[in-house]
Amino acid sequence: MSGRLLRLVCTAAVAAGTVLAPLPAAAVPEPEPRERSVADLLTDLQRLYREAEEATETYNATEEKLRAKRAEVTRLDTELSRARLSLHDSRGAAGRLARQQYQSVTDISPYVRLLLAHDPQHALEQGHVIGQLARERAQRVGALTGAERRADELARKARKALDDQLTLAARQKEDRDDVRDKLTGVEELLASLTAEQLTRLAEFEEKGVEKAQQELTTSGALADEERGPTAEGEKALEYARRQLGKPYEWGAEGPRTYDCSGLTSQAWAHAGSPIPRTSQEQWARLPRVDLKDLRPGDLVIYFPEATHVAMYVGKGHVIEAPRTGEKVKVSPIASHPILGAVRPDDPSGARGTGRPATTHAQPPALPAPDDGQAPVTEAR
């Protein structure tokens, strides 16, 4: 190919490339920040609060197990100390018997000694004493063997209990970190909102609770006539009322701060009827009652996982330690989705029918935004 022809081909190729090359793409505008409604924000906030409370109850359960394990370690250590002291005494007694046996060893049989004795009666009595000593020696050896076995068994149990305690302590730290992570999510969401958004959220949530409360009361799920509390129930209520206005704090059992199950467990402990520490254990282990049979002092359990609890005060209201940032207060019973109710002072101790409130297993329906209500844009 001549140089002139090569130059023509190259020129044509460049021209074709220029013609066929795509034009620069037009600048695509960045999407506007996603606008979020009050209902969306409230749903997220309630989810974060619920996750934090669930993590709190997990922490409380671990703390309760750790407390019991610490008591077990202390008890086993005390028993082990006593067993070792008893073992030391048994070894001392066995040593004394061994020395006595060694010092009284003779080649003359007891029968020959009896024949040669000046006083056969005395020899017989002496033989009786020797027999008694032999039996005592056997008992001492048996006691020593038993003490050694018990000391070994207690030492093994004490080591196992201590290992369990260390494992629970590590799990407690993980649970504590999990609660703090969940609460950080709540704080970050709240910090991203303006004062106006927070006000609208509170109003929107209040409307949702009012609607759920009205639906519950008109459904006939609650009794028409109020029942009176038992003597123990009244004492528990009195204690709970005295805590009104005190701050919520996760993992707290008073006297200055409380979480939900810390309040109910302490109230019933002061009434003389101790109950489990966590809401999940209260739901699992206490006798259940129908909502129609509620009386003041009963406990209302919330959410499908039984992660929240409040004390019924009558007339469709409860005393509760609600959540981080709030204080112990009186709330409508339908403030959260109801799982069921339990009675700490049921004399029968039976679990009862206790049908879960399935009609309220979902969160209370939120009112629809007013027509024309502008969606809330999440603050950045």
pLDDT score at 244: 96
Residue 286: pLDDT over 90 = yes
| Residue 277 contacts residue 60 (beta carbons within 8 Å) | yes
pLDDT score at 92: 63
The pTM of the whole model exceeds 0.75: no
Residue 94: pLDDT over 70 = no
pLDDT single digits (tens) 324-365: 889 999 999 999 999 999 999 875 544 444 444 443 434 444
pLDDT single digits (tens) 120-144: 565 555 555 555 555 666 666 665 6
What CA–CA distance (Å, rounded) separates 160 from 184? 36
Residue 284: pLDDT over 90 = yes
What CA–CA distance (Å, rounded) separates 344 from 334? 21
Whole-angstrom Cα Rg for the chain: 39
Q: Which helix (H) or strand (E) holds 99?
A: helix 38-103
The two tokens of residue 136 are 């005592």
**List of domains in the chain:** 37-187 (1.10.287), 221-366 (3.90.1720.10)
* 69 against 109, higher pLDDT: 69
State the residue for tokens 């106006």.
196
pLDDT band (50, 70, 90) for residue 149: confident
- From residue 250, give the alpha-carbon distance in Å to each of 53, 64, 187: 8, 14, 15
Residue 71: pLDDT over 70 = yes
Q: What are phi and psi of 226, to 5 degrees?
A: -75, 140
Residue 100: pLDDT over 60 = no
pLDDT score at 357: 43
pLDDT score at 91: 63
pLDDT score at 61: 79
What CA–CA distance (Å, rounded) separates 217 from 236? 25
Residue 204: pLDDT over 90 = no
pLDDT single digits (tens) 236-260: 999 999 999 999 998 899 899 999 9
What CA–CA distance (Å, rounded) separates 311 from 31? 49
pLDDT score at 263: 97
pLDDT score at 10: 42
DSSP 120: H
pLDDT single digits (tens) 151-175: 777 777 777 777 777 787 777 777 7
Residue 234: pLDDT over 90 = yes
Q: How many CB atoms lie within 10 A of CB 134?
A: 12
pLDDT score at 62: 79
* 22 against 328, higher pLDDT: 328
Q: How many CB atoms lie within 10 A of CB 233?
A: 24
pLDDT score at 224: 80
pLDDT band (50, 70, 90) for residue 196: confident
What CA–CA distance (Å, rounded) separates 207 from 369? 10
pLDDT score at 308: 94
| Residue 283 contacts residue 274 (beta carbons within 8 Å) | no
Mean pLDDT of the chain: 74
pLDDT single digits (tens) 291-325: 999 999 999 999 988 999 999 999 999 999 998 88
